[in-house]
Amino acid sequence: MTTKTQPVPPAPTRPPTDGGRGGAHAAAHKEVRIFSRLGYLALIAWTVIVIGPILWTFLASFKNTAEIFSSPWTMPAELRVENWSRAWTTAHVGQYFVNSVLVVAFSTAGTMLLGSMAAYVLARYSFFGNRLVYYLFVAGLAFPMFLAIVPLFYIVKNLGLFNTHTGLVLVYIAYSLPFTVFFLTAFFKTLPTSVAEAGVIDGCSHTRLFFQVMLPMAKPGMVSVAIFNIIGQWAQYLLPVLLISDQNKYVLTQGIAQISINAGYQADWSGLFAALSMSILPMIVVYGIFQRQIQAGLTAGAVK
């Protein structure tokens, strides 16, 4: 006798136990991908908007006036280096460049020295009026520069510092301190207290503790703020126009504005674009060299 094998009925399917969370997760993942791609497109568009004019200015600095207006979007027929040399010597860009370097170097050094000391005290010491002083610095970030033009002019003039680089340096320091103190105060708060306590136990004075222990530890934040101050002071135009009237003491922004005015009459547009390229390239080089330090300083407080 042969026995028949009964077919095994299929196991009943169970309804999903995740409450539909799998579909919701997939939808959320798809939405994230869409926004990521939109973000990439926005970054690409922003890159083109920023790099396009800079690249066009750099290429125009090697053209002559006819090429600039007849074929602005084409490559120069030849690299006319004489445009750069003419801007450097005839248009006095070299002198303006040196003036800007000296002013920005001294103002950045003064800003970082005074700002780091003030931020360290506000961040690490408790005393009466600590918060008030801090909020006064923060209020300086919201104070429009235009409101202080008239009183600033008379203050600098009464001090005998009008039309001097010294007066311009001091004003740069005053206007850069609020951001410097605001940024470094938060950074000094992230530094470990145990290191400062160990320094005090070893006999460090407050000055030695700051300069030899805490300041080296704050190097990433110091570099980040210094680069921001350099870029901001290098591109400053209103304050030099207000405080410097002697053409021999012009900084680079004033000199380029003067070249732009003269270009309308002399038609030396290639020299103007060469001068613009000279003013842009140093900041690009500085940012490119210290890019890692800037990013480390901006993210150091988040990972400690």
Assign 170 a pLDDT band (cuts: 50, 70, 90).
very high
At 57-115, the pLDDT tens digits run 999 999 888 888 887 788 888 888 898 998 898 888 999 999 999 999 999 999 999 99
Which of the two residues, 130 and 297, has the higher pLDDT score? 130
Residue 291 CB contacts under 8 Å (≥ 6 apart), including other chains: none
Query: Which tokens go with 37?
Result: 């791609």
> Are 82 and 65 in contact, with CB atoms under 8 Å apart?
no
Q: What is the DSSP string of 224-264?
A: HHHHHHHHHHHT--HHHHHH---GGG--HHHHHHHHHHHHH
Q: Give the residue extent of every domain in the chain.
A: 25-60, 83-303
**DSSP per-residue codes, 149-206:** HHHHHHHHHHTT-TTSHHHHHHHHHHHHHHHHHHHHHHHHHTS-HHHHHHHHHTT--H
Higher pLDDT, 195 or 249: 249
The band of 1, judged by pLDDT with boundaries at 50, 70 and 90, is: very low
User: 134 with 185: CB under 8 angstroms?
Assistant: yes
| Three-class SS of 14-66 | CCCCCCCHHHHHHHHHHHHHHHHHHHHHHHHHHHHHHHHHHHHHHHHCCCCHH
For the cut 80, the answer to whether the pLDDT of residue 32 exceeds it is no
Superfamily of domain 83-303: MetI-like (1.10.3720.10)
pLDDT of residue 10: 57
Among residues of the chain, what percentage have pLDDT more than 90?
35
Q: Which residues contact 218 (CB under 8 A, 6 or more apart)?
A: 116, 184, 187, 188, 191
Which is more confidently placed, 33 or 253? Answer: 253
pLDDT-based confidence at residue 175 (cuts at 50, 70, 90): very high
